[in-house]
Amino acid sequence: MIGTDVALAASLLKEGKLVAIPTETVYGLGANALDSKAIASIYAVKNRPTFNPLILHFASWEAAQPYVKAVPKEITRLASKFCPGSISFLLQKTDLVSDIITAGSSHVVIRVPDHPVTLKLLTFLDFPLAAPSANISNTVSPTSAQHVADGLGERIAYVLDGGESKIGVESTIISFQDNHVTILREGGVSQEDIQSLGLIVKKSNNKTIQTPGQLKKHYATSKPLYLVDSITEYLDKNSGKRCSALLFENSKVNCTTYLLSANYDLAEIANNLFATMRRADADDTDLILIEHIKEEGIGRAVADRLRRASIPLNA
Ligand code: TXA
Ligand code: MG
């Protein structure tokens, strides 16, 4: 059921039920993080492997403090600048966080979402919400209540509708060690945003921490999505194929088209990406085409999601 009743959402969560929650990045599948049965049902409903840990969501940075320890001062600075917002922090966990949240790791990821409905919901609760994106594992993340209902339907108690997510790609996940920030997942807060605080940023080499969201195939449409240098060239060479094309700016191409932005606005492209991938997936066409995007600002997160959603051209 989709609705806007925050008190109902709170009471369902207190009973150990699953409630989809709106955030500015994507919708989350929320459960009481202190209730191991509720957590187990997140994994079951999403068909998510239990080795893939969950992010904890809090009403404020202060509310998260009992759950983490040894917080570097640089992380505190980042949090005071970007929380609430689309950034998540990998930190040492305290005993309040169970191993099934972290898949056995001594570290937990925490975040304060920037969405008025979910912030209000969190103030009704005396526990944090564990919430992965509210989709079946390896499918496109939901940016509206209807997307959640399309994917999870009757499997969950309630979808709390907070409108369309305004960022549209998941949060940036970072850690801090050896005097630098490591970006474990690109997202709503960009590398440039973090560097603007004078911090050194490195990209994860994936050797120190394994985040399954960084597995190659993720966020996939059900029909093939190809990342190409030029849509026009692809269409010229493959005239027999029925294609849907996602465009970054106004241009003429000879197939079914969707404009992610009229003028290559990266924030707008990020915001429209997942919803448009879903629409193109429902077209009566054979495949989806999109060109490589400029890798700057939030374009880095878009490029990352497209690399994971696409399949190699010669496959
Ligand atoms: O924007 C977001 O972050 C959304 C909204 C709902 O908050 N959530 C989200 O959750 O994207 P999920 O579960 O779809 O992606 C979280 C990623 C996964 O790749 C997971 O492996 C990683 O974070 N992660 C979570 N806890 C971790 C931990 N303790 N250590 C390493 N990676 C972790
Ligand atoms: Mg996800």
Residue spans of alpha helices (H) in the chain: 6-14, 36-46, 61-64, 73-82, 99-102, 116-123, 145-152, 191-195, 231-237, 266-282, 299-309
Q: Do domains 2-203 and 225-309 have the same CATH topology?
A: no
Nearest to 276 by CA among 298, 244, 314: 244
Domains of the chain: which residue ranges? 2-203, 225-309
Please name the residues in contact with 202: beta carbons below 8 A apart, sequence gap of 6 or more: 180, 181, 182, 183
Q: Helix 266-282 vs helix 299-309: angle between axes, to the nearest 10 degrees?
A: 20
Which amino acid residue places its CA nearest to atom 15 of ligand 1? 132
Question: Which of 201 and 204 is assigned the larger pLDDT?
Answer: 201
The whole-angstrom separation of Cα 185 and Cα 194 is 13
Which amino acid residue places its CA nearest to atom 6 of ligand 1? 28
- On whether the CB atoms of residues 58 and 112 are closer than 8 A, the answer is yes
What average pLDDT score do residues 138-157 get? 96
pLDDT at 212 over 70: no
pLDDT at 215: 53
pLDDT at 303: 98
Q: Residue 27: which pLDDT band, with cuts at 50, 70 and 90?
A: very high
Please name the residues in contact with 35: beta carbons below 8 A apart, sequence gap of 6 or more: 16, 127
HSE at residue 268, side-chain half, CA atoms within 13 A, is 12
Nearest to 168 by CA among 20, 263, 267: 267
Q: Alpha-carbon dihedral of residues 270, 59, 159, 218, nearest 10 degrees?
A: 40
pLDDT at 209 over 70: no
Ligand 1 mean position, distance from CA 213 (Å): 7
pLDDT at 76 over 90: yes
Other Cβ atoms closer than 10 A to 307 = 13
pLDDT at 238: 96
What superfamily in CATH does domain 2-203 come from?
DHBP synthase (3.90.870.10)
CATH fit for domain 225-309, picks 3.40.50.970, 3.40.50.11030, 3.40.50.720, 3.40.50.11540: 3.40.50.11030
pLDDT at 205: 75
What average pLDDT score do residues 134-147 get? 97
Using CB distances shorter than 6 Å, the residues near ligand 1 are 23, 25-26, 28, 52-55, 88, 90, 102, 105, 107-109, 111, 113, 131-133, 170-171, 173, 209, 211-213
Ligand 2 mean position, distance from CA 131 (Å): 9
Ligand 2 mean position, distance from CA 133 (Å): 4
pTM of the model: 0.96
What average pLDDT score do residues 112-125 get? 98
